[in-house]
Chain A
Amino acid sequence: MLHIACPWCGLRAQSEFTYANDGTLIRPDLSNDSIDDHYNYVYARDPRRGIQDEMWRHSAGCGQFLKVRRDTLTHEIHATGAPQDDLDVPKDDRS
């Protein structure tokens, strides 16, 4: 069972969370009406055998979405943060 460090609530069990989406997806701007750009947002994915950023939700906790950097080969979690956080920046240095 995974244990995920919610950036707000601390380390919690997998059953409190739901996986939401690829964590790198940025929705096209509202003014953007390109079908291609929306296709890429909605459908295209870059599979990562290894470390990838994901969006999860602490659905049975604080309800917040969080970014999770996780290894898809080992299930190790290397970092978590708020949705807008850059996980490359160490936690203490994030604004």
Chain B
Amino acid sequence: FTNQATQVNAWDSILLKNGEKIVELNKAVEKVKTDQSAMEKELEFIAAQHTELEESIIPLEQELSKMPQQI
């Protein structure tokens, strides 16, 4: 009986430790998720900037393509 009690105590301590580790792991995963979302937003921003930049390049290209014919 004592042996069984010891066993149950040992399990208790393992479960408790694992539980703590899981809580920590969960926090880490949540942090990574938040960071990932932030990066995805940043990427969307970069994509928008690229589109904007391209849109401002197009008229420059058009203007310049006319030039040699004017001279």
Q: Do A and B bind each other?
A: no
Query: Measuring CB to CB, which residues of chain A are less than 8 angstroms from any residue of chain B?
Result: none
